[in-house]
Amino acid sequence: MSEQEQSTVAEPLEVHFPQAVTPDERKGYQGYVVATEALPEVATYARDELGYDYLSSVTGVDYLPEGKTEVVYHAYRTAGGPALVLKVQVPREDPVVPSLVGIYPSADFQEREAWDLLGIRFSGHPNLKRILMWEGFHGHPLRKDYQEVYFEAENKPFKNRWPEGKVYRVEEKAPLKKNVQYPPDFTAEGWVPEGDAALYAGMGQVVAAEGGNGRALNTDQIVVNLGPQHPSTHGVFRLVVTLEGETIVDLEPVMGYLHRNHEKIGERNTFLMNMPYTDRLDYICAMGNNFGYSLAVEKLMGITPPERAEYIRVMMAELTRIVNHLWAIGFLLNDLGAYFTPALYAIEERELVLDVFEAVSGSRMMCNYFRFGGVARDLPEGVLDVVRELVHERLPRKVDELDTYLTHNEIIRARCVGVGVLPPEDAIAYGMAGPVLRASGVPYDVRRADPYSIYDRLDFDVAVRYNGDVYDRYIIRLDEIRQSLRILEQVLRDIPEGEVQTGKPQYQVRVPAGEAYGRVENPKGELGFYVVSNGKPNPWRYHVRAPSFINLTAMGEMCKGQKVADVVAILGSIDIVLGEVDR
Amino acid sequence: MDFNFQDPFTSIGELLRGLLLGWGLAPGLVSLILMLLGALVLAGFAMTLAGVFLTWLDRKLAARIQDRLGPNRVGPFGIFQPIADAIKLITKEDIIPEGAERAIFKLAPMLAVMSAVGIWAVVPFAPRLIGTDLNVGVLYIVAVGAIGTLSIMMGGMASNNKYAMLGAFRTVAQMVAYEIPMVIALLVPTMLAGTMGVGGIVEAQRGGWFIVLAPVATLLFFVSAMAEAGRAPFDLLEAESEIVAGYNVEYSGMKFGMFYVAEFLHGVTIAALTATLFLGGWLGPGAQQFPLLGLVYFAIKTAFVYLVISLIRFSMPRIRIDHLLAFNWKLLTPLALAAVIVTAIADKLAPALGWNRAVVHLTANILLAWATFEALRAYARGIRQRVEVQPAAVETGGAD
């Protein structure tokens, strides 16, 4: 569907749905408020007629003073362009919103997350259960009236935390030593964990027990938990797989083992305090996370960084991309069973890039380098020469080396070609982002589709591959490193002198009330920050659209019918970081 | 009795025998004691050499390949690292998981070590230095090697763990399959030497190592033995990145240590067998006069083959189970059969043609290899055509 067709055929939302859709007229807000029952209809129209085929973010905001809960949808066109923001407002006592999973499958995990953390029920969701908190958790922590047990509760269960000068943690006095709130009739002895049973129930076990699988050879299926402790899940992450011999019948990712309610903590922090906290999301790409968050807040504040800061930002973001892709390729090979050799070679150059990060920010990984309206400090002397040497000499050689040794390796081809195929239409529907989306033949890159910072004047190609298998996801990472090197060459050539920060550096920024969605093309995909401010020093809502998390939506689909060994390869090719998945 | 430096092993044996007989023990008992002593020395030698020195060498090599330093803290160049590891393993808690078949669970690591060391009984380390020169030595190797397979299956099934179970599944499929080309490839040296005794096979290589006479069979034996022993890239039974540790996931302490040692010894055993059966064993200049020199030749050849195995291990990703089996049934097994037939024909043809035996065999092998590559090329061409006819279709798996 071309742009012209769209503009002639489809009329804007508020014209087509005069009753159901009204523009959001609050100050500092954008988009449309949609009547609850009309949402599926509006979403279908937006997808099919207006071309907003890519639902990027679904989240909720609890407006306690107004007594409303709002669900916010950010949809984009894969052809490029700005967002279509849809909002649904429901009373916060009993928030029920129609689920969009049938229209946009990418809403699956995000709606579960909104249910888990905000208590919004999505009617029609096929599998609405907790995703980050555990089954049996009491309450929805992101609701503004949720009080953290012991720490925020009005009636403190224990009067004094420091009786006679002795310090103890309140958890130590709790009956089960955990920071949990139990339902009134709860007894620890009689408790049966329902989570796993519920999880296994729908996974084909029953069929096998009742009389075979309909094939000539009557075999049993077994359920295997890959994880939470498993060498190839890259952290504490669990894949519940039903196996028929070596073949995957069903697979469901289970996450939340590293959950620390990043967003809740983010809402308590002031705006600037969140900057170092974003480092901890995708800890391989701290600079990229900083970038996304500062974009969102800068949108709210209405400031832009000076020229030199923009160049420095892009330089850091692209170096981060290279680091991440080297890491991803190395550990994909590890998952394929190459005993650490390729991984160690791939991350050899990473250390040199991290030296650059340390020189500019003081820290290898937790950089905390960006500030609203610039970067924390100017580049120290000599850093540009180091980067120049890296970009012109070492990194291109490293990419060529990896290319030479890995790309045509017979075993790698046999293991990767045709494994975990994700067709382009599925990739879009599942909201896949970054290299995974582009390896499926969708040339969608936020740097091009919705340019931010100075990307609109840089010359680079959006890497794209067409088979959508593990092999293409590996190759595309090499392509992207090469494109990043191209960008870095231009940045190094053109970087101007000057200020690196608008105005005076501040510890406490004033952020006007309103909402903003800032997104960047992080190495793992589209990283978005949805920030709502009410004029106070800390954000009212701080939501992270984590690419690793949403890319897992299609995991089950990609793995079905493959072998056990392929699961780890597919997971490695998605390239997740648990700090970001679990938040 | 004067000590014969040209043949120290026999001399030591005679010395001990004389000493024990001098104590007034019965000759039969003396023989038994000497045999037990020999077994102890052999097993101890195997354990020390493989367990300490080769582990260290292996890890150092791996480190160098991977751009690291490797062990360098315990002793000079970290050479005592394996001893420190062994002490650690011995002092660890020994856990038997709930629901495990206790007897089988305990038996499995013992059998694993037994099968690896057992093979050494028929390996001639030097002239006249051989545990026992069985006249069915090759058959013995195959039989004892299969006990190793059994031990892995036992460990996997008895552990009451799904990863271990998956490892055992894979064992059954992989090891049983790869035994076939290995056994068939072993027929080639047997035919060339005219004997199944391992000592005889070494002696028969005086005219030319069997790697020259039968390069295809050498390669076949090497590859399928590697798969038999579960060395990378065929280490599916303990695929770390997929099924954590496979069959030995529930083992801890010295039981795990025994599996580790067994796996390691198995690797060394393959190297030793390849050296013995195809690289001339202890043969070398002057080995006949000075058996110690033969031992050195044998050690060098074994270490060389072992290092090749290590090199492959540290530079290859793992093969997937269906590719692995397809590779075996569609390529290795037919090729092994073809190699046997070609060897048989060439062996009869050589005297008839009046040419040098080695030249005939080598030519036959080269022809066989060429035919194999042609067949593979035709097969690949077929796949490529299929893919090109339907550009949308993507080749999934199979033996490509």
Interchain contact, B169 vs A245, CB within 8 Å: yes
Q: Return the residue matching tokens 């085929």.
A: A53
Residue B190 CA to residue B186 CA, distance in Å, equals: 7
Nearest CB to A344; choose among B66, B166, B244: B66
* Nearest chain A residue (CA) to B399: A414
Rg of chain A in Å (alpha carbons): 24
Give A568's contacts in chain B (Cβ within 8 Å): 241-242
* Nearest chain B residue (CA) to A233: B241
Residue A532 CA to residue A297 CA, distance in Å, equals: 9
CA distances from B265 to A161, B60, B114 (A): 60, 17, 10
* Nearest chain B residue (CA) to A566: B320
pLDDT at B393: 44
* Residue B224 in this model has a pLDDT that exceeds 80: yes
Q: What is the 3-state secondary structure (H, E, C) of A59-88?
A: EEEEECCCCEEEEEEEEECCCCCCCEEEEE
Residue A520: strand pairing partners: A527
Nearest CB to A565; choose among B242, B316, B400: B242
Interchain contact, A415 vs B319, CB within 8 Å: yes
Residue A344 CA to residue B66 CA, distance in Å, equals: 6
CA distances from B381 to A77, A268, B378, B385, B390 (A): 42, 64, 5, 6, 14
Percent of chain B with pLDDT over 90: 0
pLDDT at A156: 61
Residue A450 one-letter amino acid: D
What does residue A48 show for φ and ψ, rounded to 5 degrees?
-85, -40
Domains of chain B: which residue ranges?
1-91, 94-319
* Nearest chain B residue (CA) to A561: B396
Question: Is the distance from CB of B57 to CB of B48 less than 8 angstroms?
Answer: no
Q: Which of A44, A533, A487 is nearest to A300 (CA)?
A: A533
Interchain contact, A337 vs B318, CB within 8 Å: yes
Give B243's contacts in chain A (Cβ within 8 Å): 564
Interchain contact, B67 vs A348, CB within 8 Å: yes
Q: Which of A524, A528, A526, A527 is nearest to A575 (CA)?
A: A524
pLDDT in tens, B155-167: 888 888 888 888 8
Q: Which two tokens stand for residue B180?
A: 């076939």
pLDDT at A182: 62
Q: Which of B232, B165, B142, B172 is nearest to A340 (CA)?
A: B232
Give B322's contacts in chain A (Cβ within 8 Å): 246, 563
> How many Å is the maximal CA-CA distance in chain A?
77
Mean pLDDT of each 10-residue bin along chain A, 583 residues long: 48 79 84 87 86 89 88 88 88 88 89 89 85 79 80 63 66 55 66 61 45 57 81 83 82 86 89 90 90 91 89 92 91 85 86 91 89 88 89 90 87 86 89 90 88 88 88 91 91 88 81 89 90 89 91 87 87 88 87
Interchain contact, B166 vs A409, CB within 8 Å: no
Domain A2-123, second-level architecture: 2-Layer Sandwich (3.30)
Nearest CB to B319; choose among A224, A344, A411: A411
Interchain contact, A222 vs B162, CB within 8 Å: yes
pLDDT in tens, B343-393: 888 888 777 666 677 777 788 888 888 888 888 888 888 888 887 665 544
By a Cβ cutoff of 8 Å, what residues of chain B touch chain A?
62, 65-68, 162-163, 165-166, 169-170, 232-233, 235-236, 239-244, 313-323, 394-397, 400
What average pLDDT does range B229-253 have in this prediction?
A: 79
Higher-confidence position of A2 and B251: B251
Q: Which of B101, B224, B119 is nearest to B168 (CA)?
A: B101
Nearest CB to A415; choose among B65, B243, B320: B320
Residue A557 CA to residue A44 CA, distance in Å, equals: 23
Give A564's contacts in chain B (Cβ within 8 Å): 166, 242-243
What does residue A30 show for φ and ψ, rounded to 5 degrees?
-140, 175
Give A230's contacts in chain B (Cβ within 8 Å): 244
Interchain contact, A337 vs B163, CB within 8 Å: no
Give B240's contacts in chain A (Cβ within 8 Å): 231, 337, 339
Interchain contact, B394 vs A337, CB within 8 Å: no
Which are the contacts of A59, defined by CB distance < 8 A and separation ≥ 6? A71, A72, A110, A113, A114, A530, A541, A543, A545
Q: Give the three-class secondary structure for A53.
A: coil
Domains of chain A: which residue ranges?
2-123, 201-254, 262-582
Question: Is the distance from CB of A430 to CB of A253 less than 8 angstroms?
Answer: no
Residue A459 CA to residue B45 CA, distance in Å, equals: 66
Which of A363-377, B113-127, B303-317 shows the lowest per-residue confidence on average (mean pLDDT)?
A: B113-127
The residue of B64, B160, B241 whose CB has the most chain A CBs within 10 angstroms, and thus the best one to mutate to test that interface, is: B241
* Residue B225 in this model has a pLDDT that exceeds 70: yes
Nearest CB to B317; choose among A338, A345, A567: A338
Strand spans (E) along A92-221: 96-98, 121-123
* Residue B2 in this model has a pLDDT that exceeds 50: yes
The residue of B165, B171, B242 whose CB has the most chain A CBs within 10 angstroms, and thus the best one to mutate to test that interface, is: B242
By a Cβ cutoff of 8 Å, what residues of chain A touch chain B?
222, 224-225, 230-232, 243, 245-246, 333-341, 344-345, 348, 409, 411-415, 417-419, 421, 467, 469, 563-568
Question: Is the distance from CB of B294 to CB of B287 less than 8 angstroms?
Answer: yes
pLDDT at B299: 84
Evaluate the CA torsion angle A442, A445, A451, A454 in order and state its sign: negative
Interchain contact, B244 vs A230, CB within 8 Å: yes
Which are the contacts of A404, defined by CB distance < 8 A and separation ≥ 6? none
The residue of A226, A241, A246, A339 whose CB has the most chain B CBs within 10 angstroms, and thus the best one to mutate to test that interface, is: A339
pLDDT at B226: 87
Interchain contact, B318 vs A338, CB within 8 Å: yes
Interchain contact, A337 vs B396, CB within 8 Å: no
Give B400's contacts in chain A (Cβ within 8 Å): 413-414
Higher-confidence position of B153 and A193: B153
Q: What is the 3-state secondary structure (H, E, C) of A91-102?
A: ECCCCEEECCCC
* Nearest chain B residue (CA) to A222: B162
Give B317's contacts in chain A (Cβ within 8 Å): 333, 336-338, 409, 411-412, 415
Residue A140: strand pairing partners: none
What average pLDDT does range B122-144 have in this prediction?
A: 80
What does residue A232 show for φ and ψ, rounded to 5 degrees?
-105, 5
Give A336's contacts in chain B (Cβ within 8 Å): 241, 317-318
Give B241's contacts in chain A (Cβ within 8 Å): 231-232, 334-337, 568
What average pLDDT does range B198-211 have in this prediction?
A: 82
Residue A436 CA to residue A430 CA, distance in Å, equals: 11
Interchain contact, B322 vs A344, CB within 8 Å: no
Domain A262-582, second-level architecture: Orthogonal Bundle (1.10)
Evaluate the CA torsion angle B377, B380, B382, B387 in order and state its sign: negative
* Nearest chain B residue (CA) to A565: B242
Which of A379-388, B34-43, B116-125, B387-396 shows the lowest per-residue confidence on average (mean pLDDT)?
A: B387-396
Residue B62 CA to residue B259 CA, distance in Å, equals: 20
Nearest CB to A467; choose among B165, B318, B394: B394
Kindly give the pairing relationship between strand A96-98 and strand A370-371. unpaired
Please give the interface size between A and B, counted as residue pairs whose CB atoms are below 8 Å apart: 100
Query: Starting at the edge strand that comes first in sequence, how are the strands of the sheet with A21-23 ordered?
Result: A21-23, A32-34, A84-91, A68-76, A54-63
Residue B225 CA to residue B151 CA, distance in Å, equals: 17
Give A563's contacts in chain B (Cβ within 8 Å): 320-322
Give B310's contacts in chain A (Cβ within 8 Å): none
pLDDT at B279: 86
Interchain contact, B169 vs A409, CB within 8 Å: no
Backbone angle region of A221, left / alpha / beta, with phi > 0 → left and psi within -120 to 50 → alpha? beta
Q: How far is CA B323 from the centre of its chain?
A: 22
Rg of chain B in Å (alpha carbons): 23
Cis check for the bond before B76: say yes or no (omega within 30 of 0): no
Residue A577 CA to residue B118 CA, distance in Å, equals: 47
C-alpha distance from B333 to closest chain A C-alpha (Å): 20
Residue B372 burial (CB count, 10 A) = 16
C-alpha distance from B116 to closest chain A C-alpha (Å): 24
Q: Which of A441, A510, A431 is nearest to A472 (CA)?
A: A441
Which are the contacts of A169, defined by CB distance < 8 A and separation ≥ 6? none
Residue A486 CA to residue B384 CA, distance in Å, equals: 35
H helical segments located in A245-380: 262-268, 274-279, 286-301, 307-335, 341-346, 348-361
Q: Which two tokens stand for residue A529?
A: 């920050």
Residue A117 CA to residue A130 CA, distance in Å, equals: 8
Q: Is-same-fold flag (A2-123; A262-582)? A: no
CA distances from B267 to A260, B248, B319, B352 (A): 46, 17, 18, 40
CA torsion, ordered B165, B170, B172, B174, to nearest 10 deg: -170
